């Protein structure tokens, strides 16, 4: 078998996984796309190991050994990643990456609490006068990206 067949298949798998990582909004589909990319790398490692073993008599099969390590890392990654996604889904109610990013940025644009303690520890019942904090700034609206 020629080396070009598994190399082309591996490139197609990797490009499909890369598109899935960049275009998907669901965290579980992003994790699946990362797994697809790792499997493309595994296919490349095994194909080049078989191709190089034909030239050398005493081979160590290092490509296959690296593939086993990659499979172990992928299993740990999917286990931990899926646990994190499920915990976030339970807390936030969604696994949409854009909505999670918006909640992580925070929506507190009003500034410090006006009824909080002053610098000397005493409380004031109104806004401070004479400072830049006394002028109320209009809330900033976030533009939502659509793709």
Residue 141 confidence (pLDDT): 61
* CA separation for the pair 134, 137 (Å, rounded): 9
111-127, pLDDT tens digit by residue? 455 555 555 555 555 55
Q: What is the three-class DSSP state of 145?
A: coil
DSSP per-residue string spanning 46-84: HHHHHHHHTT-SS---HHHHHHHHHHHHHHHHHHHHHHH
Residue 121: the pLDDT is 56
Which pLDDT score is estimated for 115? 56
Q: What is the pLDDT of residue 108?
A: 55
Residue 122's pLDDT is 55
Q: What is the pLDDT of residue 124?
A: 52
Low-confidence ranges of the chain (pLDDT < 70): 57-58, 102-147
**Predicted local confidence at residue 113, as pLDDT:** 54
């Amino acid at each position: 078998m020629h080396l070009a067949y598994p190399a082309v298949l591996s490139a197609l798998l990797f490009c499909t996984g890369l598109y899935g990582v960049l275009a998907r909004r669901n965290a579980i589909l992003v994790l699946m796309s990362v797994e697809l990319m790792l499997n493309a790398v595994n296919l490349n490692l095994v194909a080049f190991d078989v191709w190089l073993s034909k030239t050398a008599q005493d081979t160590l099969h290092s490509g296959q050994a690296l593939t086993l390590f990659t499979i172990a890392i992928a299993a740990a990654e999917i286990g931990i990643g899926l646990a994190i996604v499920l915990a976030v889904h339970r807390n936030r109610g969604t696994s949409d990456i854009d909505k999670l990013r918006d909640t992580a940025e925070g929506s507190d644009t009003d500034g410090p609490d006006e009824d909080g303690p002053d610098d000397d520890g005493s409380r004031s019942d109104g806004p401070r006068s004479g400072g830049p904090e006394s002028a109320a700034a209009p809330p900033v609206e976030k533009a939502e990206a659509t793709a």
